[in-house]
Amino acid sequence: MEKLKKCILEEGRALSETVLKVDSFLNHQVDPDLMYEMGTYFKKYFEKHGITKIFTIESSGIAPAVMTAMQMNLPMVTLKKQTSKILTGDVYQTTVHSFTKGSDYELTLSKKYITEEDNILVIDDFLANGEAALGAVRLVEGAGAKVAGIGIIIEKSFQPGRKMLDEKGYDVYSLARINKLGKDLIEFVK
């Protein structure tokens, strides 16, 4: 997606060989037009996959997931990272290791928002080591539903996440694939 790549190059900052900061349009401030266009790309790619719901992990995946859900006329469900006093009882949970934060968290899904008949599209902001995507997959499949595909905003192709998901047979579609990062260096997969 050329508009996304342009934003990454113009507004993103490679802080190291593994960290890309994109807070001006995705992680802190959100560019609604860009999010809408991302939804258009995800809809076009996944529209024949029989999707019944869009899932995302809070919080950076919410805007593009909502735009995708709006365009596909489907419900969108947020998988929670934070524990809540009101989200108790009938939940699915799995532990996920955050590459960015260097810590674990409990990913939670209310049983109320998934059925065995669901065919889920998971949207996430980054794919690096694949931990977040695999956590979402564990919740979906643990509920007896199917993962129809995984939509990624920015994939760090030099890290093992994509290979791991491909080997498990998931249909992964990334809007921007980065081949290499370095201090002030961002190089896309050709």
Q: Name, in order, each residue with C-beta under 8 angstroms of 31's C-beta and a sequence gap of 6 or more.
A: 7, 24, 25
Spans of all domains in the chain: 2-188
What type of residue is 3?
K
- What the block records as the tokens of 74 is 């489907």
Q: Residue 119 annotated as binding?
A: no
- Does domain 2-188 match CATH 3.40.50.2020? yes
Supply the pTM of this predicted model: 0.94
Asked whether the beta carbons of 171 and 51 are under 8 A apart, the reply is no
- Strand, coil or helix: 1: coil
Q: Is the pLDDT of residue 84 over 70?
A: no
| Alpha helices (runs of H) in the chain, residue ranges in sequence order | 2-11, 32-46, 62-72, 131-142, 161-167
Determine whether the annotation assigns residue 156 to a binding site.
yes
Residues of the chain with pLDDT > 70: what percent?
A: 96
Q: Report whether 131 belongs to an annotated binding site.
A: yes
Is 27 within any annotated ligand binding site? yes
pLDDT in tens, 11-57: 999 999 999 999 999 989 999 999 999 999 999 999 999 999 999 99
Q: Is 132 annotated as a binding residue?
A: yes
Question: Tell me, what's the pLDDT at 85?
Answer: 62
Structure confidence at residue 6 (pLDDT): 97
Three-state DSSP class for residue 85: coil
User: What are 100-127's pLDDT values in tens digits?
Assistant: 777 888 899 999 999 999 999 999 999 9
